Structure 1
Amino acid sequence: MIDNNISPFIKWAGGKRQLLPYIKEKMPLKYKNYIEPFIGGGAVLFGITPDKAIINDINKALINVYNQIKYNPIELMDFLSKIDIQSDVEPKEYYYKKREIFNDKIMKSEYDIELASLFIYLNKHCFNGLYRVNSKGLFNVPFNNSLAKSFNEDNIKAVSRYLQKVTILEGDFEVACQNAQEGDFIFLDSPYAPLNDNSFEAYTKEGFDIESHKRLAILFDRLTKKGCFCMLTNHNTVFIEDLYKNYSREVIKVRRYINSDANNRKGEEVIITNY
């Protein structure tokens, strides 16, 4: 492991900062490569900083941010500094203007350093740091009235240094795991299964439906047969319990900070392992 003081550079719905102590405690003592097919905000990656890591996500805009921090951190921070200075005059109006530019670049598939800087800025200044898109795949989260700085320079530099050792992929979770070998540790933190039949949390326009969860469970079985160490986190539901009934399960009580209803902010998550 690398002893770096690194923190996630964005907030992410379903982020694992709250579960990190439990995850660290349940990790295998020794493993070869670390693979995280649903990287999100990277709380686990940056919390354990493995020497050999492969990360992936289907969210192209998110993976673009990781690549820009890895290869162009100084230029990225220059963009962000200009955005932060300009936003001081009319913060709310400025936010919606930048959101429109961000969505225009998404529609044009312009995954560049400007898009990455807008992603980080919008994440810092949108409601609850929630990445949510509409049916067209366009970001639609409102302004949170924050005047906070969009980034921490020392942290971005530390993240960039660490990412030099990390292989960054973009695409389907199965493809990200196709070269996993015996002794590798795979941490699976997909978009969560619904708490009931009428709710679902999806953060890309493609979504992550029931069939996707079933496909993930099949992958979990396949990786187990390969001799990989697998850990998966999700809501503690009957559906998830049934999918992983043959594996070890630990239920953890959590607070859900993103839920707007304070009465629904308490819940249970489960950590599932095959070892």
Structure 2
Amino acid sequence: MNKLNISPFVKWAGGKRQLLDKIGERMPVKYNRYFEPFVGGGAVLFNLQPKTAVINDLNKSLINCYRQIQQSPLELIKLIDVLDNNIKDGGKEYYYLKRDEYNDKLMMEQYDAELAAMFIFINKHCFNGLYRVNGKGLFNVPYNNSIRDSYEINNIMEISKYLKAITIMDGDFEKACDDAKEGDFVFFDSPYAPINPTSFESYTKEGFDIESHKRLAVLFEKLVNNGCYCMLTNHNTDFIINLYKELFDKRKIKIDIVSVKRMINSDANNRVGEEIIIYNY
């Protein structure tokens, strides 16, 4: 199958665009179905473009975007166009108006095309493309002073074409892997463990805490033992290394350390970091 020319439709914290080559070099030669329980912006999914896949994320608003692109791309595009046209006149005031409306719909759990359009619009017009919510679950990232368009029409239409054959879920990462069988490939781009071990935060109001990382490690070992090809990426921290140390000692997995840029660090001298890629084949 020829690959489509597609790329992520949103910017997402922890996205793997700069690691695509490193991930590609470590892919299994052959696998059956593809599973990605933390799909985020979809950089790895859209780069690999497996024929059959199950994707999932805990962020229901993000997954609503995937579903709207899959099912109703033209309706979504029309709604985004209205937002993009109005930001050129309304600027900052218009952004905050739409951010408030987005939060109102979010609180009422109105996961529809309008919410998806607002999500994509806000992502392109908020500071650093950051998705952050407060304790009440309300999106609170400020305006970035941009009036640029929120999407590229060919990208949305090609993504829609690709997603037609993809199963889209929104929920817990364990549930997303229920159907993973021997010979399937599971890619875990899990929420980052903090470099500072005293701080555990996440982009979701639900959070991804220490116990979540431990539960993920248990699932990873279960899938390995069931004959799945598994890959996991995260910060290179003692906490993560220790979670997978027993599997490494048993020579069931490999752990590779790769250098990455940390663009969110205010000190340019500290923008080089390390990530680990853990895989079992």
Residue 32 (structure 1) aligned with residue 32 (structure 2): yes
Superposition deviation, residue 204 in structure 1: 0.9
Unaligned runs of 5+ in 1: none
Residue 267 (structure 1) aligned with residue 264 (structure 2): no
Residue 257 (structure 1) aligned with residue 267 (structure 2): no
SS at match of 2:89: coil
Displaced runs of 4 or more, over 4 A: none
The one-letter code sitting in structure 1 at the alignment partner of 2:17 is R
Superposition deviation, residue 264 in structure 1: 3.2
Q: Percent identity?
A: 62
SS at match of 1:254: strand
For 1:150 and 1:264, how far apart are their aligned partners in 2?
A: 31
**Correspondence list, 1:10-25, <5 A:** 10-25=10-25
**Counterpart in 2 of 1:159?**
159
Superposition deviation, residue 190 in structure 1: 1.0
Per-residue CA distance 1:170-228 (angstroms, 9 max, x = gap): 10000000110000000001111111133334111100000000000000000001100
SS at match of 1:55: strand
TM superposition score normalised by structure 1: 0.98
For 2:201 and 2:129, how far apart are their aligned partners in 1?
A: 14
**Counterpart in 1 of 2:190?**
190
For 2:201 and 2:114, how far apart are their aligned partners in 1?
A: 28
How well do the aligned residues superpose, as a CA RMSD in angstroms?
A: 1.0
Per-residue CA distance 1:139-181 (angstroms, 9 max, x = gap): 1111111121000000000000000010001100000001100
CA contact (8 A) 1:57 1:171 kept: yes
CA contact (8 A) 1:2 1:51 kept: no
For 1:28 and 1:253, how far apart are their aligned partners in 2?
A: 22
The number of residues matched between the two structures is: 275
TM superposition score normalised by structure 2: 0.96
For 1:259 and 1:134, how far apart are their aligned partners in 2?
A: 21
For 2:23 and 2:107, how far apart are their aligned partners in 1?
A: 37
SS at match of 1:89: helix
For 1:72 and 1:234, how far apart are their aligned partners in 2?
A: 34
**Counterpart in 1 of 2:133?**
133
For 2:107 and 2:266, how far apart are their aligned partners in 1?
A: 30
**Correspondence list, 1:185-224, <5 A:** 185-224=185-224
The one-letter code sitting in structure 1 at the alignment partner of 2:84 is D
